C-alpha cells in the first residue's frame, strides 16, 4: 500500500483528486491532505508517505518549491505536480 499526501489550496480540486484515488487506486491510501505547502512540510515531518501530489500554483510555498524541498530533505518520496491552468490550443499544427 502506497501512502499519498495531496496538497492543493483549492478544496474542490483537492477533494476531486482524493476521490479519484479512493475510487480507482486500490494500492494507494490517502495519508492526509493539506491546503498549503507550509502545512505539507509540517505533515511530512510527522508522517511517512510514498507520494506527494501537489498543485503547482499555491499561495506561499508553491508546488515547485515544495517539490524541491521534498527532494532535498526526503529524496525517497516521489512528487507529482498537477496544474489547473487551461491549455491554450493553437490552430497551427507543428
For the cut 90, the answer to whether the pLDDT of residue 2 exceeds it is yes
Question: What's the pLDDT score for residue 9?
Answer: 95
Question: What's the pLDDT score for residue 84?
Answer: 74
For the segment 25-68, what is each residue's pLDDT rounded down to a tens digit? 999 999 999 999 999 999 999 999 999 999 999 999 999 999 99
Domain topology for 2-82: Rossmann fold (3.40.50)
pTM of the model: 0.88
Strands of the 2-7 sheet, one edge to the other: 28-34, 2-7, 51-55, 78-82
Domain residue ranges of the chain, discontinuous segments joined by +: 2-82
Question: What's the pLDDT score for residue 87?
Answer: 58
> Which helix (H) or strand (E) is 81 found in, with range?
strand 78-82
For the cut 50, the answer to whether the pLDDT of residue 20 exceeds it is yes
Amino acid at each position: 500500500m502506497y501512502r499519498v499526501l495531496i496538497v492543493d489550496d483549492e478544496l474542490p480540486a483537492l477533494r476531486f483528486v482524493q476521490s479519484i484515488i479512493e475510487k480507482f487506486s486500490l494500492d494507494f491510501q490517502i495519508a492526509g491532505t493539506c491546503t498549503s505547502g507550509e502545512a505539507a512540510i509540517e505533515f511530512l515531518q510527522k508522517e511517512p508517505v510514498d507520494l506527494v501530489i501537489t498543485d503547482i500554483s499555491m499561495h506561499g510555498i508553491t508546488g515547485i518549491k515544495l517539490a524541491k524541498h521534498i527532494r532535498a530533505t526526503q529524496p525517497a518520496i516521489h512528487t507529482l505536480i498537477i496544474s489547473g491552468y487551461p491549455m491554450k490550443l493553437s490552430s497551427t499544427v507543428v
